[in-house]
């Protein structure tokens, strides 16, 4: 469950193709009954030459190289749908796919340019946009409330808020950060940020098939965390949350961990009396893959949304464990041009069409990738006058009267 993280490191981070069958997770791959549920549930199962079921068949037949040299893995957006639905509990998204993606990187003659650039930028600047790390905390000056930066005031703090990249640099992401800061203040949290010392947590680098990049970032971030005294790390990025929960543990990450949505839901008794401004919106909520399918966080965002006076919540056809991915995970964030060239459906557009069908006027999200993806999809489909995208924290902050 999302929240206080388990103390054990996820064993999947020790698995390689070489030791695969020596590990319980690897051995489990051999229990695959070839039912095809994974391929049927995969949002890009229809365009992959080797969807998950076939991938396992190729693995058993010793023909993996054929999979590496195909472009199938480029279409995996790490949505966890295959993993959530497998009747044999085979952890495809966590075990097999990252290993295969890593090999694909070594075998493909070249990566799509947009993805290559994002990975290079992350290595060089600590964020996929290629922004100067010196500007990471520039948004803080535009917040309505004071935000403490740990390097400027090194006293111990309760909450270290790990802001992450899109919420630091991207203008609409900064709106989420300003709202989050307002909420921390409203409930009286003792919080601070790393400011320009923060770098990408790296989870998408790992699921994108760049373990080297991921290790560079984990080493860096761990060294920064160890400089300060704090009790818990709270982040608005579900991808960063997963990285800390599973991968940073082996490097000694021992702090309590929460995503902002469960954190604020846990403090709803303090927050709710301040949610006084009525918002007359009909809202539909998109379950991000990393929060829902991976961490079972389905109710907390809905509790927060329904605590706002005036908000009417309506569900999309595919919700909770069946939610359609926004297409941004596992490198998909930087593969839109590639998918378009291939003639694939954009998943963000598929999702936005479902949201529009509910008749809602707000699409609520809680992952930094989704604001830009869905706003863009609404524009492309000509629905941007009918629906707006808001992070859950933005809606809470809008209703707030302190
Ligand atoms: S859903 Fe599981 S058991 Fe069925 S084919 Fe896929 S991996 Fe194998
Ligand atoms: S993680 Fe999602 S996109 Fe990747 S293979 Fe599984 S279902 Fe398909």
Contact 369, 166 (CB under 8 A): yes
Instruction: Tell whether 55 is covered by a domain.
Output: yes
Shortest-distance atom of ligand 1 to CA 92? 7
Cα gap 354→194, rounded to integer Å: 38
pLDDT, tens digit, 9 for 90 and up, residues 344-380: 999 999 999 999 999 999 999 999 999 999 999 999 9
Q: Sign (positive/negative) of CA torsion 54, 58, 64, 70?
A: negative
Shortest-distance atom of ligand 1 to CA 82? 1
What are the angstrom distances between the C-alpha of 385 and each of 88, 258, 360, 380, 382?
A: 45, 34, 12, 12, 8
Best mutation site among 30, 31, 37, 83 for ligand 1, i.e. most ligand atoms within 8 A of its Cβ? 37
Contact 397, 182 (CB under 8 A): yes
- Residue with the smallest CA separation from ligand 2 atom 1 is 78
Q: Which residues line ligand 2 (CB under 6 A)?
A: 41-44, 52, 76-82, 92-93, 97
Contact 304, 279 (CB under 8 A): no
- For 119, phi then psi, to 5°, come to -70, -40
pLDDT value of residue 7: 37
**Pair (262, 125) in one structural domain:** yes
Contact 111, 74 (CB under 8 A): no
pLDDT value of residue 11: 59
Cα gap 79→211, rounded to integer Å: 19
**Pair (135, 259) in one structural domain:** yes
Query: How many whole angstroms from its chain centre is CA 208?
Result: 13
Instruction: Tell whether 4 is covered by a domain.
Output: no
Of 107, 124, 152, the position where a domain reaches its end is 107
Best mutation site among 28, 31, 32, 55 for ligand 1, i.e. most ligand atoms within 8 A of its Cβ? 32
pLDDT value of residue 4: 39
**Pair (62, 154) in one structural domain:** no
Contact 205, 240 (CB under 8 A): no
| CA R_g for the chain | 21
**Pair (79, 154) in one structural domain:** no
The side-by-side arrangement of strands in the sheet containing 256-259 is 191-193, 157-162, 230-235, 256-259
Task: Give the domain extent around 189.
Answer: 113-266
Instruction: Tell whether 224 is covered by a domain.
Output: yes
Q: Please give the share of the chain, as a percent, with pLDDT higher than 90.
A: 78
- Residue with the smallest CA separation from ligand 1 atom 2 is 86
Q: Which residues contact 146 (CB under 8 A, 6 or more apart)?
A: none
pLDDT, tens digit, 9 for 90 and up, residues 222-249: 999 999 999 999 999 999 999 999 889 8
Gap from CA of 76 to ligand 2 centroid (Å): 5
Relative to the alpha carbon of 207, which ligand is closest?
2
**Pair (370, 300) in one structural domain:** yes
Gap from CA of 37 to ligand 1 centroid (Å): 6
Relative to the alpha carbon of 35, which ligand is closest?
1
Domain count, the chain: 3
Instruction: Tell whether 3 is covered by a domain.
Output: no
**Pair (82, 199) in one structural domain:** no
**Pair (251, 319) in one structural domain:** no
Shortest-distance atom of ligand 1 to CA 33? 3
Does 207 score more than 80 pLDDT?
no
Ligand 1 contact, 30 CB (< 6 A): no
**Pair (368, 229) in one structural domain:** no
Reported pTM: 0.94
The CATH number that applies at residue 26 is 1.10.1060
Q: Predicted confidence band at 214 (pLDDT cuts at 50, 70, 90)? A: confident
pLDDT, tens digit, 9 for 90 and up, residues 331-344: 899 999 999 999 99
The side-by-side arrangement of strands in the sheet containing 388-391 is 312-314, 282-285, 362-365, 388-391
Q: Which residues contact 170 (CB under 8 A, 6 or more apart)?
A: 129, 368, 371, 372
Instruction: Tell whether 2 is covered by a domain.
Output: no
Q: Which residues make beta-bridge pairs with 219?
A: none
Cα gap 397→402, rounded to integer Å: 10
Of 50, 82, 107, the position where a domain reaches its end is 107
pLDDT, tens digit, 9 for 90 and up, residues 288-310: 999 999 999 999 999 999 999 99
Gap from CA of 349 to ligand 1 centroid (Å): 28
Instruction: Tell whether 150 is covered by a domain.
Output: yes
Q: How many residues in the chain?
A: 402
Q: Predicted confidence band at 110 (pLDDT cuts at 50, 70, 90)? A: confident
Grouping H, G, I as helix, E, B as strand and the rest as coil, residue 242 is helix
Of 236, 266, 296, the position where a domain reaches its end is 266
Does 102 score more than 80 pLDDT?
yes
The CATH number that applies at residue 314 is 3.40.50
Does 212 score more than 90 pLDDT?
no
**Pair (98, 126) in one structural domain:** no
Relative to the alpha carbon of 41, which ligand is closest?
2
What token pair was written down for 267?
């403090």
**Pair (258, 283) in one structural domain:** no
Instruction: Tell whether 195 is covered by a domain.
Output: yes
Cα gap 317→52, rounded to integer Å: 25
Shortest-distance atom of ligand 1 to CA 36? 5
Comparison of pLDDT for 137 and 204, the residue scoring more: 137
pLDDT value of residue 263: 98
**Pair (261, 279) in one structural domain:** no
Cα gap 16→368, rounded to integer Å: 30
**Pair (340, 221) in one structural domain:** no
Instruction: Tell whether 29 is covered by a domain.
Output: yes
Does 100 score more than 90 pLDDT?
no
Shortest-distance atom of ligand 2 to CA 78? 1
């Amino acid at each position: 469950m999302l929240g206080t993280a388990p103390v054990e490191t996820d064993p999947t981070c020790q698995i390689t193709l070489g030791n695969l069958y020596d590990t319980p997770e690897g051995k489990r791959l051999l229990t695959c009954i070839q039912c095809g549920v994974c391929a049927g549930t995969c949002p890009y199962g229809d365009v992959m030459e080797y969807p998950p079921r076939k991938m396992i068949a190729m693995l058993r037949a010793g023909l993996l190289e054929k999979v590496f040299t195909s472009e199938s893995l480029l279409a995996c957006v790490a949505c966890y749908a295959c993993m959530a639905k497998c009747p044999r509990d085979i952890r495809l998204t966590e075990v097999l796919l990252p290993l295969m993606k890593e090999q694909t990187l070594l075998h493909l003659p070249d990566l799509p340019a947009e993805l290559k650039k994002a990975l290079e930028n992350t290595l060089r600047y600590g964020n996929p946009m290629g922004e100067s790390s010196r500007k990471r905390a520039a948004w803080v000056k535009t917040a309505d409330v004071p935000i403490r930066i740990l390097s400027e005031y090194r006293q111990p703090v309760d909450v270290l808020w790990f802001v992450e990249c899109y919420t630091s640099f991207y203008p609409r992401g900064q709106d989420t950060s300003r709202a989050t800061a307002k909420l921390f203040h409203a409930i009286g949290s003792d919080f601070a940020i790393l400011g320009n010392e923060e770098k990408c947590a790296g989870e998408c680098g790992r699921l994108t098939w760049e373990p080297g990049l991921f290790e560079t970032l984990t080493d860096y971030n761990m060294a920064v965390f160890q400089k300060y005294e704090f009790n818990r790390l709270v982040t608005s990025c579900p991808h960063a949350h997963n990285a800390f929960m599973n991968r940073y543990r082996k490097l000694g990450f021992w702090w309590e961990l929460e995503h902002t949505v469960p954190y604020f839901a846990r403090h709803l008794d303090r927050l709710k009396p301040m949610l006084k401004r009525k918002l007359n919106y009909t809202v539909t909520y998109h379950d991000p893959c990393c929060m829902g399918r991976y961490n079972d966080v389905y109710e907390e965002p809905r509790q927060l949304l329904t605590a706002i006076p005036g908000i009417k919540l309506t569900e999309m056809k595919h919700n909770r464990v069946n939610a359609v991915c926004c297409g941004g995970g596992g490198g998909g964030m930087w593969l839109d041009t590639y998918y378009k060239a291939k003639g694939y459906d954009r998943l963000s557009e598929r999702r936005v069409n479902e949201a529009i069908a509910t008749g809602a006027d707000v699409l609520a999200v809680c992952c930094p990738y989704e604001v830009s993806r869905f706003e863009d999809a609404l524009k492309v489909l000509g629905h941007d006058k009918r629906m707006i995208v808001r992070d859950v924290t933005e809606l809470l902050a809008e209703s707030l009267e302190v």
